[in-house]
Amino acid sequence: MSPTAVHSLWTTAADPITKIDAPKIEYGQLSPTLIVLAAAIVGVLIEAFVPRRSRYVAQVFVSVVALAAAFAAVIGLAAGGFATTKSHIAAMGAVAVDGPALFLQGVILLTGLIAVFTFAERRLDPEAHGNRVDSFAAQAASVPGSEGEQAAVKAGFTTTEVFPLALFAVGGMLVFPAANDLLTLFVALEVFSLPLYLLCALARRKRIMSQEAAVKYFLLGAFASAFTLFGIALLYGYAGSVSYATIGQVIDGTVRTVDPALAGTMGNDALLLIGGAMVVMGLLFKVGAVPFHMWTPDVYQGAPTPVTGFMAAATKVAAFGALLRLLYVVLPGLRWDWRPVMWAVAIVTMLGGAIVAITQTDIKRLLAYSSIAHAGFILAGVIAMNPDGISSVLFYLAAYSFVTLGAFGVVTLVRDAGGEATHLSKWAGLGRRSPLVAAVFAVFLLAFAGIPLTSGFAGKFAVFKAAAEGGGTPLVVIGVISSAIAAFFYIRVIVLMFFSEPKPEGPTVAVPSPLTTTAIALGVIVTLVLGLAPQYFLDLAGQAGVFVR
């Protein structure tokens, strides 16, 4: 072919470019996420340029200020009507600014703020070589037990990178429940997952177990991400778009504009069913629902306890927010297909988490299986498919996250020569050694069990009521049975603490700094306030429970 022929083909094939529109970004409405991500970048620069001895104070200051400022921005947006009348799709269709998004972002930011307090705790372990130490490895890159690690401990090194990592994770979590197209959802998933994989590997004590936890979480998380991405590709093939609204309209049959390149696949139900199932599977992995829960107990046990608390609380909030938006905005036209499957998942999650928790002897593994059971209870509200379903799930997530952070905060205080004493036998007689700490932990356990006058009862009641109204009465019956089974092992721990003789070689309760004290105190206050006077917060969740479409 002659050069002139090639040139003429090239000129005729190329469309004349008229004008590329500049992207329209509403920076004010995206400010909570932008503040957190900007602070995370500042944290990385602090690691690069600030002298080592000053980094800890600088990182804690930047993290706390950023999370508080982002929370203030969320409150400002909600007060400005973006949760109700002004809710809309921002960032050229990528992010929703509406009630559920702002409510969940507020919960995630408060959770992140309290988690940073526990990350910054440096009074629980005895000083090493005259330096205060935290829960994280002195030098993450050194081999456990090597000369390099010993030299790092002696020099008083600390891994202050945990603060920007936590901020990057929070930034991803803020976008995750607000994502309004599948690609934004996937990017947010990776942005918050990768820092969590790293944070899990950084425990100062039991480093081999910590690194094993991180590898398990990374490998299984990579599989879940791959399933999600494959599902996104299939849904794009089905609808010719990754936008939530367009996919929902193609499912309803209201849109029939076919992209010529996708004319052969658009409207193919097999792509829709398999793609939808794969994306939902990725989200169920993140919430720790059976049968995608295998990582949960190992990772919760191996990760540094402050990271476990942060992960258990914030990841669930973000993932359930994304799951709600996907099922209520994208797939409501498919509810007759996905509801029976989700029923089955909710039932095996509630029963599986509660029954297996009875056999656990480690307090962190017990709380991990407890979190699996709670994922089942929350799924009962998700399946309700009514407005109460959304608001009850929002309330439950807010209540659950504070109880979880408080409970893991208490776990960091009970220590012996090897660090945290997480074996249940070590907790025997704790109520006589340290009545206050045991009483606080008992409050959290009663809230997990759903005993009246705690936030756990108000949350469970709201979720089960929504499920019953949505035609899920059998689900509620199984949920109540699971709660009864779960109450057994929570109350067993309370009996162990208060009615057993303390062992002479038993653990001590460390006196924390004001940071951890504040985190635990906030957990107790929120647990009791949401239990004694839940109505205001239920109304708030009700007002915030409308998705923008």
DSSP string, 275-287: HHHHHHHHHHHHH
Amino acid at 211: Q
Give 499-542 pLDDT, tens digit per residue: 988 887 778 888 888 999 999 999 999 999 999 999 898 998 88
Confidence of residue 457 (pLDDT cuts 50, 70, 90): very high
pLDDT at position 43 is: 95
pLDDT at position 210 is: 93
pLDDT at position 134 is: 81
Q: CB under 8 Å to 73, separation ≥6 — which residues?
A: 31, 32, 35
Cα angle 447, 494, 378; round to 5 = 25
SS3 90: strand
SS3 434: coil
* CA–CA distance, 243 with 246 (Å, rounded to integer): 5
More confident residue, 10 or 200: 200
Q: What's the whole-number average pLDDT of the chain?
A: 89
Q: Average pLDDT of 335-363?
A: 91
Tokens 């930047």 label which residue?
A: 62
Tokens 């094939």 label which residue?
A: 13
* CA–CA distance, 335 with 470 (Å, rounded to integer): 12
Amino acid at 295: W
Give 409-448 pLDDT, tens digit per residue: 999 998 887 788 888 888 888 888 889 999 999 999 999 9
pLDDT at position 68 is: 97
Confidence of residue 1 (pLDDT cuts 50, 70, 90): low
Does the CA dihedral 261-190-69-325 come out positive or negative?
positive
pLDDT at position 503 is: 80
Q: Average pLDDT of 352-362?
A: 92
Per-residue pLDDT for 172 more than 80?
yes
Give 224-265 pLDDT, tens digit per residue: 999 999 999 999 988 888 999 889 888 887 776 556 666 666
Among candidate residues 401, 403, 382, the one with its CA nearest the CA of residue 391: 382
* CA–CA distance, 176 with 323 (Å, rounded to integer): 10
* CA–CA distance, 473 with 459 (Å, rounded to integer): 17
SS3 421: coil
- Residue 526's Cβ-count burial label (10 Å; 0-12, 13-18, 19+) is buried
pLDDT at position 267 is: 65
Per-residue pLDDT for 2 more than 60?
no
Residue 21 carries which DSSP code? P
pLDDT at position 119 is: 92
Q: CB under 8 Å to 126, separation ≥6 — which residues?
A: none
Give 384-406 pLDDT, tens digit per residue: 888 888 999 999 999 999 999 99
Amino acid at 516: T
* CA–CA distance, 522 with 404 (Å, rounded to integer): 11
pLDDT at position 264 is: 65
Q: Average pLDDT of 196-218?
A: 92
pLDDT at position 241 is: 86
Per-residue pLDDT for 301 more than 60?
yes
* CA–CA distance, 278 with 264 (Å, rounded to integer): 22
**Is the CB of residue 97 less than 8 Å from the CB of residue 48?**
no
* 455-469 helix and 514-532 helix, angle to the nearest 10 degrees: 50
Q: CB under 8 Å to 410, separation ≥6 — which residues?
A: 437, 440, 441, 444, 520
**How many other C-beta atoms are found inside a 10 Å radius of the C-beta of residue 176?**
31
Q: Average pLDDT of 122-150?
A: 82
| Max CA distance (Å), the chain | 95
* CA–CA distance, 76 with 60 (Å, rounded to integer): 24
**Is the CB of residue 478 less than 8 Å from the CB of residue 380?**
no
* CA–CA distance, 210 with 299 (Å, rounded to integer): 8
Does the CA dihedral 41-44-48-54 come out positive or negative?
positive
> Strand 88-90 and strand 419-420: pairing?
unpaired
Among candidate residues 406, 378, 401, 404, the one with its CA nearest the CA of residue 391: 378
Ramachandran region, residue 428 (left: φ > 0; alpha: ψ -120 to 50; beta: rest): beta
Q: Average pLDDT of 454-476?
A: 92
* CA–CA distance, 261 with 243 (Å, rounded to integer): 17
Contacts by 532-535 with C-beta closer than 8 Å and gap 24+? Answer: 532/453, 534/395, 534/455, 534/458, 534/462
Peptide bond just before 291 cis, omega within 30 deg? yes
pLDDT at position 128 is: 79
pLDDT at position 386 is: 86
pLDDT at position 16 is: 56
Alpha-carbon distances, residue 85 vs 50, 104, 192, 548 (angstroms): 45, 18, 30, 10
Torsion of CA 58, 61, 65, 66, to 10 degrees: 40
Provide the percentage of residues in the chain whose pLDDT is more than 90. 59
- Please give the span between the terminal C-alpha atoms of the chain, in angstroms, as a whole number: 52
Task: Quote the tokens at residue 162.
Answer: 């945990």
Give the total residue count for the chain: 549
Residue 126 carries which DSSP code? P
Confidence of residue 113 (pLDDT cuts 50, 70, 90): very high
